Amino acid sequence: MESAEIRRRWLRFFEERGHTVVPSASLIADDPTLLLVPAGMVPFKPYFLGEATPPAPRATSVQKCVRTPDIEEVGKTTRHGTFFQMCGNFSFGDYFKEGAITYAWELLTTSQEQGGYGLDPERLWITVYLDDDEAETIWREKIGVPAERIQRLGKKDNFWSMGVPGPCGPCSEINYDRGPEFGVEGGPAVNDERYVEIWNLVFMQYERGAGEDKENFPILGDLPSKNIDTGLGLERLAMILQDVRNLYEIDTSRIVIDKATELTGVRYGADQASDVSLRVVTDHMRTSVMLIGDGVTPGNEGRGYVLRRIMRRAIRNMRLLGATGPVVAELVDTVIESMGQQYPELITERKRILTVALAEEAAFLKALKGGTNILDTAVTETKAAGSTVLSGDKAFLLHDTWGFPIDLTLEMAAEQGLSVDEPGFRRLMKEQRERAKADARAKKTGHADLSAYREVADAAGATDFTGYLATEGEST
Ligand code: ATP
Ligand code: MG
Ligand code: MG
Ligand code: MG
């Protein structure tokens, strides 16, 4: 089943059951606490928080999402993309656990001939929150899932909150058993690659109090009106229905892999490391095009910095695969070709997207050239001095003069057998930031731009992207 058909069936199923179909919002979140939309519920947040009255009690959408914190998983696990689409159904004080569970089961297990996705019920495993007996009873008694395929998971996986006072509640997740070729048995609690999570049902039933701790916060009591928020990963379901091994090989992504192999001459499936690079290129180019499509431009802070790092990582991986010249134009066109059917604005905006992407490629190729010279010299000097650690000074210099993100320096140094004095690098970054702040104070002119960039850059380096986006992974 093609991705486009998965989407159509989703929306039709919920529309037939009284849900208002809401188009995807832009990836640029209309929300000061988020840079980018990480989950389908984000556009509905005001309704869940009671800040606005929903126009209808039920809604459904297929929402574009970007999760930067998942960047390290890309290409290594089989199931994480930085861009993906979350299919959702939402109830604002209308149906609750039983309704959500019944709909999910019906849509997943109804045969394809009858409009469902036709998954084998015996391959579906359920998780519920530790003390959520109510959900378990529905799964067992109403749906008929045997007890041995229901597992209980703790706060980290199966309890949802926005990290601030407001609604929160337990989740129940539906996982698909991909079989022994994906590793040991034992259910999703044991092996989350074999038993891949496809659908998360969030039951918003409690009021959360204040408190920073992610796992330990006060619950004030029941919400007066209970809500449902669910999210199913479209690409994950496509991976199962198209019977491919990972997200990057589904219909809408595979053609990007194929384009990248054509541009580099590398064969997909020939070698572990180059396969990871091909998947990174595929994922990151998709994300880049979707971000530029929604109006993000590469820059040194905020969303622009997210885009810059993702795009530069894609280009760098193309070079690892052997590309020497520009590659972005053809990759962008391939992504537009595959995603344009569902997002026609990509086609009408093609020229603008290409212009932005090509300018960033040119800037990066220039930086890469200058930075590589500095790095090579530094590596030779380091080795000559009998050391295996590139100094923090050099990493800082690369960052400062050529905009090398620390992960790029780490990777390039590792290729030449060196590690990097990261603490030293961070110390210099911090000192520079403090100098910038002091300067700004002294001159009483706001050097805000510069220091903001440094903070973002530093935080991003320190935690590999998660620093300033840490809250993104938490929704849904
Ligand atoms: P996982 O545990 O596999 O990382 P998650 O629990 O972080 O997933 P949720 O926040 O519950 O995911 O999001 C709802 C659904 O969105 C998931 O069940 C999954 O199908 C999909 N999804 C989440 N993250 C990704 C991703 N990085 N790439 C593709 N699909 C994703
Ligand atoms: Mg999970
Ligand atoms: Mg989940
Ligand atoms: Mg996750």
Q: Tens digits of per-residue pLDDT, 131-168?
A: 999 999 999 999 999 999 999 999 999 999 988 888 99
**Cα separation, 297 vs 286, whole angstroms:** 15
- Does the beta carbon of 231 lie inside 6 Å of ligand 1? yes
Q: Are 284 and 320 in contact, with CB atoms under 8 Å apart?
A: no
State the CB neighbour count (10 A cutoff) for residue 17.
15
Nearest residue (by CA) to ligand 1, atom 10, is: 476
Dist. CA 69 → ligand 4 center (Å): 9
ipTM > 0.90 for the complex: yes
pLDDT range class, residue 76, cuts 50, 70, 90: confident
Confidence of residue 464 (pLDDT cuts 50, 70, 90): very low
Q: In angstroms, rounded to a whole number, what is the distance separating the alpha carbons of residues 19 and 10?
A: 11
In the chain, what percentage of residues exceed pLDDT 90? 78
Q: Is the CB of 248 under 6 A from ligand 1?
A: no
Kindly state the helix (H) or strand (E) to which residue 220 belongs, with its residue range.
Answer: strand 219-233
Tokens 């378990």 appear where?
Answer: 136
Q: Whose CA is nearest to atom 3 of ligand 1?
A: 197
What's the pLDDT band for 444 if we cut at 50, 70, 90?
low
Better-scored residue on pLDDT, 453 or 112: 112
Tell me the two tokens of residue 413.
């140094």
Q: Which of 164 and 80 is assigned the larger pLDDT?
A: 80
Give the closest residue (by CA) to ligand 1 atom 26.
80
Extended beta strands in 22-153, E state: 58-66, 83-92, 124-129, 150-153
Say yes or no: domain 3-244 is CATH 3.30.930.10: yes
Tokens of 139: 């799964």
Could you tell me the two tokens for 330?
A: 């053809």
Q: What are phi and psi of 199, to 5 degrees?
A: -145, 130
Phi and psi torsions of 18, nearest 5°:
80, 15
Q: What φ, ψ does residue 21 adopt, rounded to 5°?
A: -80, 120
Other beta carbons within 10 angstroms of residue 182's beta carbon come to 16
The closest-lying atom of ligand 1 relative to the alpha carbon of residue 231 is: 14
The H or E element that residue 448 is part of is helix 448-463
Task: Calculate how far, in angstroms, residue 220's C-alpha sits from the geometric centre of ligand 3.
Answer: 24
Residue type, 224: P
- When pLDDT is averaged across residues 213-239 and rounded to a whole number, the result is 92
Q: Region 295-306: what's the mean pLDDT? A: 91
Q: Is 199 in the pocket of ligand 1 (CB under 6 A)?
A: yes
pTM: 0.88
Residues of the chain with CATH 3.30.930.10: 3-244
What's the CA gap between 268 and 209, in Å, rounded? Answer: 50
- With a CB cutoff of 8 Å and minimum separation 6, the contacts of 16 are none
Ligand 1 neighbour 236 (Cβ under 6 A):
yes
CA distance 37 to 17: 26
What are residue 425's phi and psi, to 5 degrees? -60, -45
| Nearest protein Cα to ligand 1, atom 27 | 80
Answer yes or no: is the C-beta of 83 below 6 A from any ligand 1 atom: no
User: What is the distance in A from the centroid of ligand 1 to the CA of 408?
Assistant: 27
Average pLDDT score, the chain:
90
Residue of minimum CA distance from atom 1 in ligand 1: 197
Ligand located closest to 286 CA: 1
Report the nearest-CA residue for atom 8 of ligand 1.
197
